[in-house]
Amino acid sequence: MADETTTDTVPAVTPAEPSGVLDLRPPKESVRAELCRLGLEYSSADAAGVESWRDYQRGVLATFDDSGTSVTLTDVKTNLGRTLTLDGLKTVTRIDTMTAAD
């Protein structure tokens, strides 16, 4: 009979602060944090795990590349988009689309 080995694949969740507060925000220096700052919210992930984020009011779709280090922001009405890294996202102050332009 072979030895049975089990591995816990779920990471342990520990409070970020001694006060017991569980901080579920993305790291400050991350593509996800920048998408949140720009008003996008998580939408879904496909079978390969590629995430999609959306801003329904502005008509923006953001999809991650395979590595998760860059994201393509697309106007859902025109299908025009740009791929940006974290440094590029940090410089964006607003996203104008055919749906919404301030």
- Please report the pLDDT score of residue 18 as a whole number: 75
Residue 5 has pLDDT above 80, yes or no: no
Distance CA 69, CA 88 (A): 11
What pLDDT, in 10s, does the model give residues 6-52? 445 545 555 556 789 999 999 999 999 999 999 999 999 999 989 99
pLDDT category, 67, cuts 50, 70, 90? confident
- Please report the pLDDT score of residue 2 as a whole number: 56
Tokens standing for 68?
A: 């998760």
